[in-house]
């Protein structure tokens, strides 16, 4: 089965000029950093303790035991046969990864037509926002006894998911009766957190209530689709083994030490050079496939949380020679490219105007699909469109977009997918994950934490009078209040 291909031509000076493209001398200049980055990653990945401690255990998720996968698939079939609806509650990777898989690998309009679902339940996503209108519209239109709920939260304390679960649980309790807990499934930390405590309590009363799967140690949320997303894949009938097969193939390609033969390394290195030497700070991901639109949304979280960092990384060694990574307050770097999710061809009639003629601060990555699941031939126009296949028009639109950008010296590259399948999608996710990890090495930041996310959470917890907040956090918030001047509110 064919794998992904990567076309980096339009990132080089011979395509877009020396001012905006990477030159051979710049590749040579950055090659020592790339070699160091590879050796460092290689050393971490070969040590289980390092992978776990630093957050790189995601590199091993595609090699989980077949018995586990088969057990999850059996569980998914059980749920899909018994229930008409499944609500997934989660935010960040616990939502974006699932939504990306659903849109890429299930038919468009899956929820709308029973024929497309083939006996599988409708899937709904909540707990990913605090907009009261969505849950208010969803729950009154579902039957509680025919609805299964999966809540995904490592701690059980994430505000959006916790609030949604409280509403949904109360709705289930009222509508499904005293055994409603048998319609609840938790994916959470294996040993700690309020959700894990709740699981243990409910299971002590009824082993069929609040069943659970663990969020594995050493796997951050945005890297965890191949962990926390497995039950969703099983319920919807997506082939987990094929996804894992694709991911393993890509892992092999992305372990090669030579940068020019390693797609993830070369992608990261070229973008890093364009960022640091050519001021290309905006990363636009534009798949030319409507089914990959949510995958672009997933990528936004991956890149933004991983590489958007205030502090450089300080590495020290523990007694066992294992590394400890800390943010170094002495090195304020404020780095990280800004990701933008887009899609062709719809956004060629919006953001593309800025891409071509606006500030030359972007690098575009296209995803081109060579074969769609279905194709349509245009009929009845009696002009140049008659007899043309949609797939031909889509491919030509991507090619034309490259041409228009190159003509204006705008760097871009393309990922070529033979088709959108479980196998190729598994490759795509692993490629982006490894490319992001490698770029973190090049920038010398911790790509596996997200301290900037805590600011809004702490402010909300303070305003909501959450017990147990650290005193230093309270003092920080009290000492820097928001200033709102009436004359600037019109």
Q: Mind listing the pLDDT tens digit for each residue in 65-101?
A: 999 999 999 999 999 999 999 999 999 999 999 999 9
pLDDT digits (tens, 9 = 90+) for 429-466: 999 999 999 999 999 999 999 999 888 989 999 899 99
Catalytic choice (146, 173, 314, 457): 457
End-to-end, the C-alpha distance of the chain in Å comes to: 60
pTM to 2 decimal places:
0.96
The two tokens of residue 127 are: 């707990």
pLDDT digits (tens, 9 = 90+) for 197-227: 999 999 999 999 999 999 999 999 999 999 9
Of residues 317 and 60, which shows the higher confidence score?
Answer: 60
Cα dist from 74 to 78, 184, 231, whole Å: 6, 17, 10
Cα dist from 300 to 291, 296, 337, 489, whole Å: 16, 6, 10, 32
pLDDT exceeds cutoff 80 at 490: yes
DSSP character string of 449-490: --GGGHHHHHHHHHHTT-TT--HHHHHHHHHS-----GGG--
CATH no., domain 5-55+241-443: 3.40.50.10490
The two tokens of residue 449 are: 């934490």
pLDDT digits (tens, 9 = 90+) for 423-435: 999 999 999 999 9
pLDDT band at residue 1 under the 50/70/90 scheme: low
Q: Where are the domains of the chain?
A: 5-55+241-443, 58-239, 451-488
Residue 454: per-residue pLDDT: 86
pLDDT digits (tens, 9 = 90+) for 254-295: 999 999 999 999 999 999 999 999 999 999 999 999 999 999
What's the rounded mean pLDDT across residues 166-184? 97
pLDDT exceeds cutoff 90 at 318: no
pLDDT band at residue 2 under the 50/70/90 scheme: confident
398 is catalytic: no
Catalytic choice (28, 115, 349, 374): 349
CA–CA separation, 216 and 58 (whole Å): 9
Is the CA virtual torsion 86, 92, 98, 103 positive or negative?
positive
| Nearest one of 228, 284, 244 to 93, comparing CA atoms | 228
Q: Which residue has the tokens 């729950």?
A: 139
pLDDT exceeds cutoff 90 at 355: yes
pLDDT digits (tens, 9 = 90+) for 106-151: 999 999 999 999 999 999 999 999 999 999 999 999 999 999 999 9
CA–CA separation, 440 and 37 (whole Å): 9
241 is catalytic: no
CA–CA separation, 1 and 371 (whole Å): 13
Fold: same for 5-55+241-443 and 58-239: yes
pLDDT digits (tens, 9 = 90+) for 385-418: 999 999 999 999 999 999 999 999 999 999 999 9
232 is catalytic: no
Catalytic choice (305, 398, 439, 441): 305
pLDDT exceeds cutoff 80 at 233: yes
The superfamily CATH assigns to domain 58-239 is: Glucose-6-phosphate isomerase like protein; domain 1 (3.40.50.10490)
């Amino acid at each position: 089965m064919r794998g992904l291909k990567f076309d980096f031509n339009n990132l080089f000076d011979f395509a877009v000029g020396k001012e905006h493209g990477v030159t051979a001398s710049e590749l040579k200049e950055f090659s020592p950093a790339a070699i160091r980055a590879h050796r460092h990653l290689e050393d971490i990945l070969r040590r289980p303790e390092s992978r776990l401690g630093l957050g790189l255990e995601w590199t091993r998720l595609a090699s989980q035991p077949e018995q586990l996968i088969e057990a999850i698939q059996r569980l998914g079939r059980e749920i899909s046969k018994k229930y008409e609806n499944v609500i997934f509650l989660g935010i960040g990777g616990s939502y974006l990864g699932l939504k990306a898989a659903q849109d890429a690998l299930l038919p468009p309009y899956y929820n709308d037509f029973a024929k497309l679902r083939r006996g599988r339940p409708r899937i709904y996503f909540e707990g990913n926002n605090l907009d009261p209108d969505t849950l208010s519209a969803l729950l009154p239109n579902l039957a509680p006894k025919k609805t299964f709920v999966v809540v995904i939260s490592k701690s059980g304390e994430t505000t959006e998911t916790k609030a949604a679960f409280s509403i949904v649980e109360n709705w289930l309790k009222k509508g499904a009766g005293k055994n409603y807990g048998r319609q609840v499934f938790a994916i959470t930390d294996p040993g700690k957190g309020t959700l894990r405590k709740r699981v243990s309590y409910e299971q002590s009363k009824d082993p069929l209530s609040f069943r659970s799967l663990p969020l594995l140690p050493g796997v951050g949320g945005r890297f965890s689709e191949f962990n926390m997303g497995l039950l969703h894949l099983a319920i919807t009938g997506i082939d987990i083994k094929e996804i894992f097969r694709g991911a393993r193939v890509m892992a092999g390609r992305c372990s090669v030490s030579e940068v020019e033969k390693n797609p993830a390394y070369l992608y990261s290195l070229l973008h890093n050079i364009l960022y640091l030497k050519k001021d290309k700070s905006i990363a636009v991901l534009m798949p030319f496939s409507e089914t990959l639109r949510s995958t672009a949304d997933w990528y936004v979280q991956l890149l933004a949380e991983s590489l958007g960092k205030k502090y450089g990384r300080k590495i020290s060694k523990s007694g066992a020679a294992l590394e400890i990574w800390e943010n170094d307050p002495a090195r304020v770097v404020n780095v990280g490219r800004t990701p933008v999710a887009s899609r062709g061809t719809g956004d060629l009639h919006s953001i593309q105007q800025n891409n071509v003629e606006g500030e030359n601060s972007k690098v575009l990555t296209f995803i081109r699909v060579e074969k769609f699941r279905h194709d349509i031939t245009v009929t009845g126009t009696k002009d140049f469109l008659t007899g043309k296949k949609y797939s031909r028009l889509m491919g030509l639109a991507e090619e034309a977009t490259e041409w228009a950008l190159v003509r204006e010296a705008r760097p871009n590259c393309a990922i070529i997918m033979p088709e959108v399948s479980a196998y190729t999608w598994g490759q795509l996710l692993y490629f982006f994950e490894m490319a992001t990890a490698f770029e973190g090495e090049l920038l010398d930041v911790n790509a596996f934490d997200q301290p900037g996310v805590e600011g809004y959470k702490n402010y909300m917890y303070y305003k909501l009078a959450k017990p147990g907040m650290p005193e230093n956090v309270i003092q920080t918030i009290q000492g820097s209040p928001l200033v709102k001047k009436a004359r600037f509110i019109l």
